[in-house]
Chain A
Amino acid sequence: MLELLKRFYASFGLPRLIILGFFIILNIMAIVLEVNFPELVSASMVRIAMNGVLVLAILPSIACGTGPNFGVSLGILCGLVGGLIAMELRLDGYTNFFMAIVFSMPFAVAVGLGYGWLMNKVKGSEMMFALFIGWSAVSLMKIFWLVAPFDNPEMAWPIGSGVRVTISLVNRELAQLLNQTWSFSVAGITFPTGLILFFLFCCFLVWLFMRSKTGIAMLAAGDNPRFAEAAGINVDRQRIYGTIISTMLGAVGILVYAQSFGFFQLYEGPHFMPMIAVAAILIGGASIKKASIANVIIGVILFQGILVVAMPVFNIFTQDMASMAEISRVIIQNGIILYALTQVVSGRD
């Protein structure tokens, strides 16, 4: 029994135990302090499901061996471009949402192809390179947003060219679209059914893919590239596939996120999103080299759950709860990434 516990501890790692403990303590305190629990659960579910697809986008990149995709902001940017095109065409509701996904896909595939090709050139420094190519792209796109030729007044500046910093989705019946689909309330808890189903559907698709011939080849390429070469698998090509899928999911992820949030955030928004998503999958038990759908779901529940529950609990201890929540996010998020990095080297055999 003790042996089993030890083994569990070794594979789970101290930081994850701390995070799990923190989550449990927060929940107990929330109950003890009699904060509005149903509201908290409802808010958690929304936050978990709206971030879920972005976290899912990290999975294929880990699976194919390029490591957690710190450059998923490239996919996010593609998603935003698709979203803006749908806005420009003044589409409404579901049409807008799904056409935005359709519009963003060609961009995501093209960008993912180029990005994956580059990732093969920088083997060994993928994470660092991904971070900076993501950040460069975000700042380059800021210039694009400034000159973008859109003229729907909902998003364009009234004078000159370019699009606004935040674009409201309310007028296009897009805000909360999925959240409200088949939504229902039980005991004061509101279930964002459509949003949750959409996230789970995406997970299901990725699960199916990982069980296909290509998916198996990708797993092999990511697990052991030299094995894969010997088994006749084109490792570089699998890495490109993984990067493309990750980019595509990133595009879908931001559209899901934005509809729940109610706004497109163009300029600063995508900057730190990749790190939040990467942190979530790592919290869920993934490593730099291996990840599963379960890691995605557990991770996003724990991480986003903490962020939601922490708010009202902190409110009791400090006047400045917003900053306290932000502080705990930053510490958890970067702490878990640092932990994962130390595991790469010491865990190698």
Chain B
Amino acid sequence: MPEQQYLLQMQDVGKSYYGTVVLQDIQLALKPGEIHAVVGENGAGKSTLMNILFGMPVIHATGGYLGKVLIEGNQVDITSPQQAMEAGIGMVHQEFMLLPNYSITENIKLNREILKDNLFSRIFGPKMKSLDFKTMNKDARKALDTLDMDIEEYVKVAGLPVGHMQFTEIAREIDKANLKVMVFDEPTAVLAESEASNLLRAMQKIAGQGIAILFITHRLDEVMEVADTITVLRDGRLVATKPKKETNIVEMAELMVGRKIETITRRKDQLKEGQVVAAIKNLTVRMPGEYVKTLDLEVFKGEILGIGGLAGQGKIGVANGIMGLYPTKGSVEINGKPLQLNNPRESMKRKIAFLSEDRRGVGLLLDSSIELNIVVTAIENQNRFIRRLGPFTQIDNSAIREHALKMIKELDIRCTGPNQLVRRLSGGNQQKVCIARALTLNPEILLVSEPTRGIDVGAKRLVLETLVKLNEETGITIIMTSSELAELRSVCDRIAIVTDGTVAGILKPDDSDADYGLMMAGQKRRKGA
């Protein structure tokens, strides 16, 4: 019975959301005491895989998954986090699942409190049993000792350092009596370096007790340090599973990035490295989750510059900082003159327009008409489309209508008319409305963040083609930020990879996969391109 030796097996696992396949034919097998790393880019399918394993509602609200999950050789059907826990799967979440006003003990024992009988519980049932703090504290102490944590178990979690919070989470999982498999989802993302190495040691210690560990990460050096086996995912498929000894960082990076580029009708002429249109120096942007730290970057006139990198590394923060949407420090020079930071109006005045990555949150007035969406920024910042009568202003309906119709035609926005509410449009057409709004400002520089996020495949191509066409026909400079490397490589002249808040290097679209992989994983830095 060879299957018995595995604690966890996933066979032919797949998942699709509304017809879009996000995960396909995944095979995974973990032995007791094994640390199994799963690496991949954003959107490679790592989190979907974990959601399936942990029975998250998002999976089952959208039709469940394909394939089989086996625990100790028995097939299990996990449809809720509760069942996952009962099956012996523990998870350390990326976001802490802790209650700050509880003590460490109370958090470790959350909803697994140890109870004792009292008079009322005998009458009204088990929900009225009292908590047995003495035993709970004893258990918590034991779990904390396993992790070599010498903090008192009755201390409140609020105010603890991040590392301690995470260890509290881990302690909660190992306190569960039937723990067989433990999942770490990007556990070191929030930790300082010393804390991270503590964590890796703890992982090895837990594995030493015969528990299998699934380690999801994009930090290749950490993988090399602790993993026994490595599985690489790309675009929802399993690319390779190898023992650590048989591979190296460069190979993993290559596998992670892969090559799947459909070049868009892009002129292939050599870029003229001429005039610098924007010079960014020492840019620091305090955007939550996307911190930019003293970033330097030069943008040439008329180019399409890509900004790539992994989620949370700060690439999204660059454009938001230039637009003044988050607290920003440093200097940005547009055409040689300094730009006043932290002021969206100033940025627009200097002919910069922005397509936000959060299209529905920041990019659109969902409950307003297409035409209003297109002109509102121009009304506000350039006093266009309004008529003045002394101190009074009125919007100029006919001018707005004319402009909106022109934009709808030029960008081929599919709608019932300029009066339609933007909420009713498809993602691709909403994005075109955003482009129309940006173009209405007659910008010289167009900042585009995640232009194809949440748009179906066919429309993605259309949006990208629109951007390229604009660049070629009007000579507008485009700075495009995207999580999809393939997309950047298909349209950009140069691609800056942002890692840990700064530019790790600038690559050409046809540079090797290994270069991209290593740079994104923070293994390699290169100046200029």
A residues with a Cβ closer than 8 A to B are: 208, 211-214, 216-217, 219-220, 223-224, 226-227, 229-233, 289-290, 349
- Choice from A208, A216, A230 contacting B325 with Cβ under 8 Å: A230
B395 touches A216 (CB 8 A): yes
- A290 and B367 in contact, given A216-B372, A231-B344 (Cβ under 8 angstroms): yes
Chain A, Cβ-Cβ closest to B348 = A232
Tell me the nearest residue of chain B to A216, going by C-beta: B379
| Residue in A208, A214, A223 whose beta carbon sits within 8 Å of that of B366 in the complex | A223
A223 B325 Cβ-Cβ under 8 A: no
Kindly provide the distance from the CB of A69 to the nearest chain B CB, expressed in whole angstroms: 20
Given A212-B394, A213-B393 in contact, is the A226-B379 Cβ separation under 8 Å? no
- Are A231 and B367 touching (Cβ within 8 A)? no
Q: Is B516's beta carbon under 8 Å from chain A?
A: no
Q: Chain B contacts of A216 at CB under 8 A?
A: 372, 376, 379-380, 395
> Across the interface, do A226 and B361 meet the contact criterion of CB distance under 8 Å?
yes
Given A231-B381, A232-B348, A212 and B392 contact (CB-CB distance below 8 Å): yes
- Cα A232 to Cα B354 with chains together (Å): 12
CA gap between A290 and B354 in the complex, in Å:
26
Chain B residues whose C-beta falls within 8 Å of the C-beta of A214 in the assembled complex: 393
CB nearest to A290 among chain B residues: B367
Interchain CA distance A72-B318 in the complex, whole Å: 43
B488 in contact (CB, < 8 A): no
Q: Are A231 and B376 in contact (CB under 8 A)?
A: yes
Residue of A nearest to B396 (CB): A211
Q: List 18 A-B contacts (CB under 8 A).
A: A213-B379, A213-B393, A216-B395, A219-B368, A220-B368, A220-B380, A223-B367, A223-B368, A224-B365, A226-B361, A227-B362, A230-B354, A231-B376, A231-B377, A231-B380, A232-B380, A233-B380, A290-B367
Is the pair B365, A220 in contact by a Cβ cutoff of 8 Å? yes
B506 at the interface (CB under 8 A from A): no
Q: How far is the CA of A211 from the CA of B393 in the complex (A)?
A: 8
Q: 5 closest Cβ contacts across the A-B interface? A: A232-B345, A213-B393, A232-B344, A231-B377, A223-B365
Query: In the complex the two chains form, is A220's CB within 8 Å of B364's CB?
Result: no
Encoded as 1 (CB less than 8 Å from any A CB) or 0, chain B from 359 to 401 comes to 0111111111000100011011101001000001111000000
Given A214-B393, A223-B365, A232-B380, 4 more contacts at CB 8 Å?
A213-B379, A224-B365, A226-B362, A227-B364
Q: Which of A208, A212, A227 contacts B365 (CB 8 A)?
A: A227
Please indicate the chain A residues that have their CB under 8 angstroms from the CB of B372 in the complex. Answer: 216, 219
Which residues 165-221 of B have a CB within 8 angstroms of A? none
Residues of chain B lying within 8 A (CB to CB) of residue A211: 394-395
- CB-contacts of B331-366 with A (<8 A): 343-345, 348, 354, 356, 358, 360-366
Residue of chain A at shortest CB distance from B362: A226
Once the chains bind, are A220 and B356 in contact (CB under 8 Å)? no
CB distance from A208 to the nearest CB of B (A): 7
Complex alpha-carbon distance, A211 and B386, angstroms? 9
Identify A220's interface contact among B376, B386, B393, B394, CB under 8 A: B376
Is there a chain A Cβ closer than 8 Å to B323's Cβ? yes
> How would you classify the secondary structure of chain A's contact residues: helix, strand, loop or mixed?
helix
With A224-B364, A226-B361, A230-B354 as contacts: A213 and B344 at CB distance below 8 Å = no
**Distance of A93 Cα from B376 Cα, bound (Å):** 44
Residues of the A chain whose Cβ atoms lie less than 8 Å from the Cβ of B360: 349
> Which chain A residues lie closer than 8 Å to B392 at the CB level?
208, 212
Q: In the complex, what's the smallest C-beta–C-beta distance from A129 to chain B, in angstroms?
A: 24
Shortest beta-carbon distance from A347 to chain B in Å: 11
Contacts of A223 in B (CB 8 A): 365-368
Q: CA A214 – CA B386 in complex, angstroms?
A: 11
Q: Which residue of chain A lies nearest to B378 when distances are taken between CB atoms in the complex?
A: A231
Contact of A230 with B356 at beta-carbon distance under 8 Å, contacts A208-B394, A217-B380, A223-B365 already known? yes
Which residues in B have some Cβ–Cβ distance to A below 8 Å? 323, 325, 343-345, 348, 354, 356, 358, 360-368, 372, 376-377, 379-381, 383, 386, 392-395
Q: Give complex CA distance A213, B348 in Å.
A: 17
Docked CA distance A220–B374 (Å): 12
B46: shortest Cβ distance to chain A, in Å? 26
* B375, closest chain A residue (CB): A216
Contacts of A349 in B (CB 8 A): 360
Contacts of B366 in A (CB 8 A): 223-224
Can you name the residue of chain A whose Cβ is closest to the Cβ of B386?
A: A213
A212 to chain B: which residues have CB within 8 Å? Answer: 386, 392-395
Give Cα A220 to B361, complex, Å: 13
B445 CB → nearest A CB, Å: 16
Contacts of B377 in A (CB 8 A): 231-232
A217–B376 Cα distance when bound, in Å, is 8
* Smallest CB separation, B306 vs chain A (Å): 22
A227 lies within 8 A of B345 (CB): no
Q: How distant is B442 from chain A, measured CB to nearest CB, in Å?
A: 15
CB neighbours of B380 from chain A (8 A)? 213, 216-217, 220, 231-233
Chain B residues with CB under 8 Å of A213's CB are: 379-380, 383, 386, 393, 395
A90 to chain B, nearest CB (A): 35
Contact B364 A229 (CB under 8 A): no
**B153 → chain A closest CB, angstroms:** 35
Which residue of B is nearest A231, CB measured? B377
**Whole-angstrom distance between the alpha carbons of A226 and B358 in the complex?**
10
CA distance A213 to B364 in the complex (A): 18
Q: Which residue of A lies closest to B395 (CB)?
A: A211
Are the C-beta atoms of B365 and A230 separated by less than 8 Å?
no
Residues A230 and B395 in contact, CB atoms below 8 Å apart = no
**Are A230 and B323 in contact, with the CB atoms below 8 A?**
yes
Least CB distance from A77 to B in Å reads 29
With the chains together, A172 CA to B419 CA distance in Å? 50
**Which of B343, B356, B367: most chain A Cβ within 10 A?**
B367
Residues of A within 8 A of B393 (CB): 212-214
A213 to chain B, nearest CB (A): 4
CB pair A232–B325 under 8 Å, yes or no, is: no
Could you say which residues of chain A place their CB within 8 Å of the CB of B325? 229-230
One of A208, A229, A290 near B344 (C-beta < 8 A): A229
Chain B residue contacts of A231, Cβ below 8 A: 344, 376-377, 380-381
Point out the residues of chain A lying under 8 angstroms from B383, CB to CB: 213
**Contact partners of B354 in chain A: CB under 8 A:** 230
Which B residues are CB-close (under 8 A) to A229? 325, 344
Residues of chain B contacted by A219 (CB below 8 angstroms): 365, 368, 372
CB closest chain-A residue, reference B363: A227
Once bound together, how far apart are the Cα atoms of A349 and B377, in whole Å?
Answer: 24
Complex interface: chain A residues within 8 A of B364 (CB): 224, 227
CA distance A25 to B171 in the complex (A): 66
Q: State the CA gap A229–B337 with chains docked (Å).
A: 24
CA distance A290 to B393 in the complex (A): 23
Q: Nearest chain A CB to B401's CB is how many angstroms away?
A: 14
Nearest chain A residue, comparing its CB with the CB of B320: A230
Q: Determine the distance from Cα of A229 to Cα of B324 in the docked complex, in whole angstroms.
A: 10
List A contacts of B343 (CB < 8 A): 232
Alpha-carbon separation in the docked complex, A212 to B360 (Å): 25
Task: Tell me how far the C-beta of A346 lies from the nearest C-beta in chain B, rounded to whole angstroms.
Answer: 16
| A233 contacts across to B, CB distance below 8 A | 380
Closest B residue to A223 by CB, please name it: B365
- Which of B362, B368, B379, B394 interacts with A230 by CB under 8 Å? B362
Q: Cα distance A223–B360 when bound, in Å?
A: 12
Kindly state the separation between the CA atoms of A269 and B379 in the bound complex, as whole angstroms. Answer: 43
For B344, give the chain A residue with the smallest CB separation: A232
CB-defined contacts of B395 to chain A, threshold 8 Å:
211-213, 216
Closest chain-A Cβ to B264's Cβ sits at a distance in Å of 28
Q: How far is the CA of A219 from the CA of B394 in the complex (A)?
A: 14
- B184 smallest CB distance to A (angstroms): 32
Chain B residues whose CB sits within 8 angstroms of the CB of A289 once the complex forms: 367
List, in ascending order, chain B residues with CB within 8 A of A227's CB: 362-365
A82 to B24, CA, bound (A): 73
* Whole-angstrom CA separation of A211 from B394 in the bound complex: 6
Q: Which residues of B contact A208 (CB under 8 A)?
A: 392, 394
Residues on A with C-beta less than 8 A from B363 are 227, 230
